[in-house]
Structure formats: C-alpha cells, structure tokens
Amino acid sequence: MPGKIVIADDATFIRIILKDLLTQGGYEVVAEATDGVEAIKKYFEFEPDVLFMNINMGEVSGIKAMLAILQKDPNAKVIICSADSRPETVLNAIKLGAKSFIVKPFMPEKIYDAIEKTIGDDLKFDVEF
C-alpha cells in the first residue's frame, strides 16, 4: 500500500493529531511543514503520495502552495484540510486541483477514506464534513 504523506499545517496540534492518525492507519508521515513555502519545499524533497494542506498558513496560503506544486507536478495529490467550509472556498479548491476537501474538526475515518480515494485515483471529488 502506498502511503508516504506530507502534512502542511501551521497549527502544531493539528499536525500531531494527523500524524498520529496516519501512523496508526499504516501510513508513513515523511515530513511536516508549517507554511506554504515549507510545504512546497517538503513536497519536492520527499515526493509524497499525498500532501495534506491547510489553507490559511501565513504569507503563502495552502492554495497558492498547491498551485505552485501542481504547476511543476500536475500529478500531485493534495487533500485540503481546513476549518473554512464556505461553499466558495470548497469549490475554489476543487477547481484549482485539490483531490479532496476535509473540514476541521474531522473524524479519523474521513481522513482514511480521503486518502484511499485519492491514492486509488477514485477521483470523484469528495467533501467530508
């Protein structure tokens, strides 16, 4: 089962929770990033199967970082994980290339389901509340 994952979130507690859930689920968290610039760097350094990305992370947002990554690697698989559940935010993320959108707070099964759909190329877009 593929499962190299990078987590990009400015909140330490979210990174800890996600890392614990992912590790318990059999995935390997190969790197963590605290902002969009670091997320881009870690993505290309570690070449993960999936990148979990928060939207609001300081100077370079998760959306801008996702666009920069997709420009160089159109096959990148990004799952947005954000507390911003406004329809326009979700639709914008979809339109720009996110493979899934999970709303915080999240349930572990939503995380696992999003990863499996994303890695398995079951790209019917899914929003998890």
Query: How many of the other CB atoms lie within 10 Å of CB of 50?
Result: 23
Q: Which of 99, 116, 103, 104 minimizes the C-alpha distance to 22? A: 116
User: Is the pTM value of this prediction over 0.85?
Assistant: yes
CATH node for 4-128? 3.40.50.2300
pLDDT in tens, 70-124: 999 999 999 999 999 899 999 999 999 999 999 998 888 899 989 988 887 544 4
Distance of alpha carbon 36 from its chain centroid, rounded?
Answer: 12
Q: Indicate the length of the chain as a whole number.
A: 129
Q: What span, in angstroms and rounded, lies between the C-alpha atoms of 59 and 123?
A: 30
Q: What span, in angstroms and rounded, lies between the C-alpha atoms of 124 and 16?
A: 28
Please give the backbone phi and psi of residue 29, each rounded to the nearest 5 degrees, phi first.
-85, 110
pLDDT in tens, 51-70: 999 999 988 999 999 999 99
- pLDDT of the residue at 124: 45
